[in-house]
Amino acid sequence: MIEQLSPYIRVAMDSSIPFRWKLKERVLFDYELLYVKEGRIRVTIEGQSYEGKAGDLFLFRPKQRHSIEKIGTETVRQPHLHFDLFYQEDSPDVKVSFKPLEEISEEEMKWFREDALDLFSVPLASHLRLRNPVIIENMLFDIIKETQMKLPFYEMNIKGMFIQLFIHLLRENYWNQNPHLLTNMDELVKLRNYLKHHIDQKVTLEELVDISGISKFYLIHLFKKTFGMSPIQYHQLLRIEKAKEMIQFTTEPLTVIAEKFGYPDIQSFSKAFKKTDGVTPSFYRKRSSISP
């Protein structure tokens, strides 16, 4: 799903509200990201109330009931984006809604986007208290500036800028829901670097346990949740990728390459290679027209 993203940015603007203000309950046809740069707001989404302060981010989904109210007398500044995750033929025609669902006309009903966010592996929260809000803030303002300037090919550029923002947001959400990963991040990064610097030999889990001080099964769990695979799978991937380079761009025999990356013989090398890459090492040697 995420590989098919083709976002359409409908609105990108920075709003400052110095006076008393309340946005009555409404539903949107599209998505909205609202960032609180200054001041405080009370946001109610499907009956759940949140207090937003500087550094908070809110996500509103299509057809999701929500209202927003300013808290206190301090000016509220809230840069925000309205967008479709996937471009559709009618994307340029869809408007920003300020109506409750009961007032949406039959003609407007067709503008509601399908909410695809729950198809992602980790559900995206409606309210995020960002760990490092400056990064998201800068990305938002860059998109707003690019949209306002409308330089040649800006439409293509803001698609790429938004995807970077969205990936960062997904990661923030993932860390928020898995705080134990952040607690052990230094150790996990140290282990990953260790694996990168030992691609010329076999590494065991016992070795990694001794280095990290984390129990075997918890280490596998943490590493997989953070990097998408076990430490041994990650190490094998590094070894095979480097071996692949040597097969394609050197004339070294396959037996020598296998030995360089810690495989005892060509059979175990070929087996590991096929398991990781789906083909045998000779596939890349044939493609490169270099004889083993």
Tell me, letter by letter, the H, E, C secondary structure of the chain: CHHHCECEEEEEEEEEECCCCEEEEECECCEEEEECCECEEEEEECCEEEEECCCEEEEECECCCEEEEEECCCCEEEEEEEEECECCCCHHHCCCCCCCHHHCCHHHHCCCCCCCHHHCCCCCCCEEECCCHHHHHHHHHHHHHHHHHCCCCHHHHHHHHHHHHHHHHHHHHHHHHCHHHHHCHHHHHHHHHHHHCCCCCCCCHHHHHHHHCCCHHHHHHHHHHHHCCCHHHHHHHHHHHHHHHHHHHCCCCHHHHHHHCCCCCHHHHHHHHHHHHCCCHHHHHHHCCCCC
Q: Which of left, alpha, beta for 152 (phi over 0: left; psi -120 to 50: alpha)?
A: beta
The per-residue pLDDT for range 109-136, each reduced to its tens digit, is: 999 999 988 777 667 889 999 988 999 9
* Beta partners for residue 70, in sequence order: 41
Q: Which fold has domain 183-287?
A: Arc Repressor Mutant, subunit A (1.10.10)
Could you tell me the residue ranges of all domains in the chain? 2-177, 183-287
Average pLDDT for 167-179: 87
The b/e string for 43-80 (b: 16+ C-beta within 10 A; e otherwise) is bebeeeeeebeebbbbbbbbbbebebbbeeeeebbbbb
Whole-angstrom CA distances from 215 to 19, 93, 118, 210, 212 are 56, 56, 33, 9, 8
User: What percent of the chain clears pLDDT 90, i.e. is strictly above it?
Assistant: 81
What's the token pair of residue 248? 């394609």
Residue type, 133: P
Average pLDDT for 51-79: 96
* Beta partners for residue 97, in sequence order: none
State residue 292's pLDDT score: 44
Choice among 42-56, 80-94, 276-290 with the minimum mean pLDDT: 276-290
Rounded distance, CA 273 to CA 281, Å? 6
Between 205-212 and 185-196, two packed helices, what is the crossing angle to 10 degrees?
A: 130
What CATH number should be reported for the domain whose range is 2-177?
Answer: 2.60.120.280
State residue 2's pLDDT score: 65
State residue 273's pLDDT score: 94
Question: Is pLDDT above 60 for 289?
Answer: no
The per-residue pLDDT for range 199-217, each reduced to its tens digit, is: 999 999 999 999 999 999 9
Rounded distance, CA 246 to CA 155, Å? 41
Question: Is pLDDT above 50 for 287?
Answer: yes
